[in-house]
Chains A and B, each alone.
Chain A
Amino acid sequence: MTVLEILTIPDERLKQPSAPVESFDDELRAFIADLEETRRAGPGAVGIAAPQVGRFQCILILDVSKTKKPVPNHGHLVLVNPEISHWEGYEIGREGCLSVPDYTGNVIRATRIRLKAQDPFGNPLEYAMEGFEARAAQHELDHLDGLLFIDRVVSRRTDLFRRKVYQK
């Protein structure tokens, strides 16, 4: 297995949308193994998307099972051709990115999502995710659309917090 080179901003290729995977073959699975190796080599990344290593196909890996404070999760996931079919709620959380060194920012994401995808053999998958895992999935799916979290950063002074306060 190989640790692949991660594209970092301002690399224009990070803006390129990815294409669906059509052949679920050994080459795909070998790439996924390299992608996982690359994720693990980074600084505590809970996810990685294929375009981050210059392969513009809809493939991503998620694993939020090892956070400091445990969060609801489905363990280690390889998601091919993922699509979010349902969004619910919204919340602010802090994000960084392997492709954006030395910067973190607050981003609004849906609290709960339902997601369909395929496994590395083309079998259908379906998950209901919430909280941190849902956030990670949305962050990685953005990469497949050529979007980075810095395209979505909100001010720390955003009024979401105040609205929450007054809802009590």
Chain B
Amino acid sequence: MSDWRMLTLVGADRPGIVAAVAKALYDNGFSLGEASMMRLGGNFTIMMMISGPGDAEGLLAPLAQEMGLRLHLFEAGGRLHSHLAPNVQVRVHGADRAGIVAQVTGALAEMGFNILELESDVAGTEQRPVYIMHIEGFCDRPIEELARAISNLGELSLDVSPIETLIG
């Protein structure tokens, strides 16, 4: 199976979204590949590789409408079994302010750091929000160089550490 399409669905979170989408796809002969689903700010977000016969958009549009989801579908040209293993993780936290992500990722990009996954959240309270970000990626520059590259970004707490994947 190589005709993977990328399906994204986003809408106000409620129980049963995944089950309804998965059932509609399964009942119509679609396969699911890699997926990432997550609640972000009260919305539920789905990003999923699907493959199968026929008009997936026509199939899912009524369901999306009924569940209040925005649907987007396109030929992604991706494939399974093309994972890259991260070798570096970067942890960032600090008082929330504009520009944290731009500054950190900008410095990383200059070092040729390829982000494989980024998760960020705002913790703390409404009065004192704290931005927390966890990045995993691949970079062939030494850890010390990377750490230096992002070391002078103000009041942020930054930690760059290697990811040694245990195979056993």
Q: Contact residues of A with B, CB < 8 Å? A: 42-49, 62, 67-69, 71, 93-98, 102-104, 132, 135-136, 139-140, 156-157, 161-162, 165
Contacts and interface: CB of A to CB of B under 8 A. Distances in A.
Contacts of A136: 166, 168
B164 interface: yes
Contacts of A69: 162, 164
8 contacts: A93-B164, A94-B164, A96-B167, A103-B83, A140-B168, A156-B136, A161-B132, A165-B132
Count class of interface residues, chain B: 20 to 34
A156 B134 contact: yes
Interface in B14-49: 38
The 5 closest A-B pairs by CB, nearest first: A47-B168, A94-B165, A95-B166, A139-B168, A96-B167
Contacts of B93: 165
Contacts of B162: 68-69
| Chain A binding surface, main DSSP class | mixed
Interface of B: 38, 81, 83, 85-86, 91, 93, 117, 119, 123, 132, 134, 136, 162-168
B119 A98 contact: no
A69 B88 CA distance: 12
B166 A132 contact: yes
Contacts of A139: 166, 168
| Chain B binding surface, main DSSP class | strand
Contacts of B38: 157
B168 A46 contact: yes
Nearest to A96: B167
A162 B123 contact: yes
Given A69-B162, A103-B83, A162 B168 contact: no
B144 to A, nearest CB: 11
